[in-house]
Amino acid sequence: MRRQLNTLYATTDGAWLHKDGANIVMRVDREERGRIPAHMLESLVCIGRMSISPQLMAFCAEQGISISYLTEHGRFLARVEGPVSGNVLLRRRQYRCSDQPGHCATLVRHMLVGKLHGQRAVLARGLRDYAGKLDDQPALEQAVERLTRIPKRMMRETDTDSLRGLEGDAARIYFGAFDQLIRVGSARMRFHGRSRRPPKDACNAVLSFLYTLITHDCRSALETVGLDPAVGFLHRDRPGRPSLALDMAENFRPLLGDRLALTLINRKQLAERDFRYLDNGAVLLKDDARKKVLVAYQERKREQLLHSFLDEKVDIGLVPYTQAQLLARHLRGDLDAYPPFLWK
């Protein structure tokens, strides 16, 4: 099994990152604030305004450490990486499959079944944990039942657009019931429907930030096994969009995004004071709150779950890499179908 390396998240505005031997060093106002050996890292994510020395950038490229730039609100800006080492034969197979409607629909179907399985698991767990305490328990029970039926309808569909339509129906059901899982009294911490660019409430601000982190990890996993993260099956091709990384991230959003957001809010690790409320209705994470989310995200990735297809326990942080390997094996013809990640 591949070793799980770390992602270094730099979040301090005005920081200067540079190379010192085989170490990455952060300085703020000429004072050293952190130092980490490069061999422990697989990626560097810069959130906010900071500078990186050309020497460090070249060193990271040589060592296979990708550098990603995000705005302070978590929106992806750019990525710097060394020479692409993708498997040309695998990528050609990937491109051919993406242009074949039948094969594309089959892959999309399996990806979405994995996503809906995760969404149903989130609601079902809430139903178990808060039985008798919910505002509208019958509505939540009905949402769980409907999310059980939609994957069965998906298995009969052979058209990608129809599958996307069923995914949209499932999203409306899922997010329509999501607010019941928030167990804090503050009105500002409630969920008012999915919103983005910008998020309109605190819960959406956390979800959007986590989804960006998940997509980053999926992109790294796909590049590691030799696939092109820009050419997907569910998400249509668009310049600058990592479509395949977004495809794969859908499977992990319920586990690594939604469940973690609910945990942080319900345990009051995040509260009203951790957000900025702007005049245009946008709600954004403050700097210290982003750090809380990043720490919790890294801790969650160290936990283990049973992989139903491999029948062995794996670190959650390694699951994107495992799924990228399984997708590559399927595209090469070693597996008859792509097995999505199913968790309980």
Q: Is the distance from CB of 194 to CB of 205 less than 8 angstroms?
A: no
- The H or E element containing residue 304 is strand 304-307
Task: Give the Cα separation of 94 and 83 in Å (integer).
Answer: 20
Q: Kindly report the backbone phi and psi dihedral angles of residue 191, in degrees, each rounded to the nearest multiple of 5, phi listed first.
A: -100, 125
Average pLDDT over every residue of 296-324: 88
pLDDT tens track for 14-28: 888 999 888 899 888
Residue spans per domain, the chain = 6-80, 88-332
Residue pair 283/199 in contact (Cβ under 8 Å)? The answer is yes
Half-sphere exposure of 123 (CA within 13 A, CB side): 28
Q: Determine the topology of domain 88-332 in CATH.
A: Four Helix Bundle (Hemerythrin (Met), subunit A) (1.20.120)
- What is the number of other CB atoms lying within 10 angstroms of the CB of residue 56? 22
Out of 77-86, 194-203, 248-257, 300-309, least confident range: 77-86
Q: What is the pLDDT of residue 321?
A: 87
Beta bridge partners, 44, equal 8, 67
Please determine, for residue 187, whether its predicted confidence score (pLDDT) is greater than 80.
Answer: yes
- What is the mean predicted confidence (pLDDT) over 151-175? 93
Residues 224-275 have pLDDT tens digits of 788 999 999 999 888 878 999 999 999 999 999 999 999 999 999 999 999 9
**Mean pLDDT of the 79-83 span:** 75
Residue 3: the pLDDT is 52
Q: Which amino acid is at 63?
A: Q
For domain 6-80, the CATH superfamily is CRISPR-associated endonuclease Cas1, N-terminal domain (3.100.10.20)
DSSP three-state, residue 276: strand
Assess contact for 28 and 12: CB atoms under 8 A: yes
Compute the distance between CA of residue 253 and CA of residue 171 in angstroms, rounded to an integer: 12
3-state secondary structure of 2: coil
pLDDT of residue 135: 79
Which range, 1-10, 32-41, 69-78, 259-268, has the best average confidence (pLDDT)? 259-268
- Judge whether residue 5 has pLDDT over 70: no
Higher pLDDT, residue 74 or 140: 140
